[in-house]
Amino acid sequence: TEGGDQSGEEPGGMSRAWGRGPFLRQERSPVSQVEWPQERHITAGFMVRRVLAAGLLFSLLLGSSVLLVYIFRSCGPRPCRTPECHDLQARYLASGNTSVAPCTDFFSFACGDAKGTKSSFQALAEENKRRLREILEKPGSRHLGTGEDKAFQFYSSCVDTGAIEAEGAAPLRQVIEELGGWRISGNWTSLDFNRTLSLLMSQYGYFPFFRAYLRPHPTLPHTPVIQIDQPEFDLPLKQEQEQKIYAQIVREYLAYLSRLGALLGGDPDKVQQHAFLSISITSQLFQFLRPLEQQQAQEKLFQLVTIDQLQEMAPAIDWLSCLQATFTPMSLRPSQLLVVHDLEYLKNMSQLVEEQLLKYRDFLQSHMILGLVGTLSPALDSKFQEARRSLIQKLRELTQRPPMPTSPRWMKCVEETGTFFEPTLTALFIHEAFSPKTQSAAMELFTAIKDTLITRLRRVPWMDEKTRKEAQDRVTQLQVKMGGPEWALKPSLAREEYNDIQLGPSYLQSFLSCVRSLRARIVQNFLQSFPQHRWQVSTWGVSAYYSISDHVVVFPAGLLQPPFFHPGYPRAVNFGAAGSIMAHELLHIFSQLLLPGGCPACDTHALQGALLCLKRHYQSIPLPGGLSFNGSWTLLENAADIGGLAIALQAYSRRLLGYYGETILPNLDLSPLQLFFRSYAQVMCREPSTWEPQDPHSPPMLRVHGPLSNTQAFARHFHCPRGALMNPSKRCQLW
């Protein structure tokens, strides 16, 4: 406006000056060298006009620049001011360390020093449990007399530690009497061994010598089959363990079993003797296990046998009666096929049981009861729980594993309630935390990721045309399950009756009634015609997965929550966090192709070169002191990490071209693409010491630095100099 006023005065003055003489109408001789006085006046006027014209042009440019600034401010990224964005911004500010150069150590830049930091997935899982707690503790929300009411009652009895402490060990002593008692604390009725074993399996959900469970058959039509596996051992034994460590583990476990016997009123000398024999049995059973590598080498990872055949090979167990009691109402026959994980273990286990029955029948009884007490400890008073907690912590110290975090009582009660009343809590959680708007936004994100993968497959250098077409068809035909199972959307399921659950009079009795009800429901569900995919995670869980047998990818509602996803977040956050997770799971469709011989028609040389490049890329990235990893063991997950980030970035970049109005988080000083990379890294934040070598994923720092340093766009948007950790001279292209 100021420039416009000045330009309005100058033309008028110029017009009056030029109107005083006839010089505009005179011609000058081109050869004239004479400078007339009037000509000097004309030259001065001409200069004034040029100055004023320049001023006018400047005014126009200044006005245009103001307009452009206004346009760019209107169309460029705006700060997100919603409560969800405010919470996310606070989370990012609290977790990161902006004093660290992002090109040198982006893990620290995004995650801070990560000491004491829970895994981002673990933190989200705990947040989901808090939401379930709010549901279960909400006054007046239950429908009396329904299964929903029973779920609320069970949770209330679980958190009522006063009543549990008042009961003490009395409910557990009653259980032991029902099993025939034991010599440790007095009376013992020598029941038939297989009858006791059958009761432990069917009524208490405890399997002392082997595990038996239902699973879908690996081939169509996926009919239910019983699988027999090795038991789960309390002792963290290894095939080749130092004698000193082994002796320390045995001492700690002996002290624990002795403490259990003392809490149940046992004679100290008898307790010590029976505890030692129990450890001896466990140790011998462990020696019967064959390493997984040996089973794979012998191509005997799983074997199909009938109940009759197993009875001949492992005669100490009455297989038909024990399995029939456990899997009622299934009707089992001697010709029933079983899937056996380690047949040699079962043969040796049977021989050991026969020897114990001949010499130490009462010690075998004590071994089974001591194991049961350990599994029931969450339902017992604080003395039993503290004994169990102390054992676990000491064993983790001896095996150089990080301490187990202590969970509050309410969280354990939420977990138990969720296990026993999953249909009810599934419906309630979906209603509370996964609205139709959230589901629609999540499905839109998944569609963008899937479409980008289909496009990207056209340029995978090592695929032949036939494999490429088959791969694209596989992605097109893929089913996606998002939020919760279809049945979870039916409100009536939240009020399921659970007629077979009897609550009280003690919490232990309620707990055991729920154990039996759950077992019966699992069997019943397997017997029903169930054409749809059976979910392998709870709705409030945080684990996505791809099912090979059903060709289904699953993203539970619990995963699609802040800070990974929210409809009100900037798109950069949703694509960087949830989008990269979605792409990661989609790439597991093709994991088989990356294995040796998995794609005979592909360009093997190009594929192996890309995989070798990937291994070297990860090996070149420094790790904190004391950490090492097996690049071959983590290869498939590394490939999915790198490919998942690339696909999510391409999908986000395409979305930026088609949509205006992108937002950013205020006070972070990050552009949309920088925010995308920060959100990806935030998913991987985790204290490095919590990573364990058997994890198929790389250590958390590598899960951040590996994919991001392999992405040229990261170095460009963070202005990383050539040769910096996050801008290496060579990158790998697999997907």
The residues with which 555 forms a beta bridge, in sequence order, are 482
Cα(546)–Cα(648) distance, integer angstroms: 18
Place of tokens 């604080």: 382
Q: How far is CA 384 from CA 240, 381, 450, in A?
A: 31, 6, 50
**Amino acid code (one letter) for 376:** L
**The two structure tokens encoding residue 326:** 């456990």
Class of residue 224 by CB neighbours under 10 A (exposed 0-12, middle 13-18, buried 19+): middle
Listing DSSP states for 538-585 in one string gives -TT----EEETTTTEEEEETTTSSTTT--TTS-HHHHIIIIIHHHHHH
- What are φ and ψ of residue 669, in 5° steps? 55, 45
Category of 723 on φ-ψ map: left (φ > 0), alpha (ψ -120 to 50) or beta = left
Residue 641 annotated to the active site: yes
* DSSP SS3 for 70: helix
- Contact between 538 and 577 (Cβ < 8 Å): no
- Contact between 278 and 271 (Cβ < 8 Å): no
Residue 5 annotated to the active site: no
For the CA atoms of 268, 272, 278, 280, the dihedral, rounded to the nearest 10 degrees, stands at: -170
- Among candidate residues 381, 416, 422, 641, the one labeled active-site is 641
Q: How far is CA 471 from CA 96, 478, 511, 599, 678, in A?
A: 39, 11, 48, 11, 31
* Other Cβ atoms closer than 10 A to 473: 11
* DSSP SS3 for 497: coil
Cα(567)–Cα(221) distance, integer angstroms: 38
* Other Cβ atoms closer than 10 A to 630: 11
- Comparing CA positions, the residue from 443, 511, 437, 513 lying closest to residue 482 is 443
Those residues with Cβ within 8 angstroms of residue 574's Cβ, 6 or more apart along the chain or in another chain: 441, 445, 565, 566, 679
- Among candidate residues 105, 148, 585, 662, the one labeled active-site is 585
Question: Would you please indicate which residues are annotated as catalytic (active-site) residues?
Answer: 585, 641
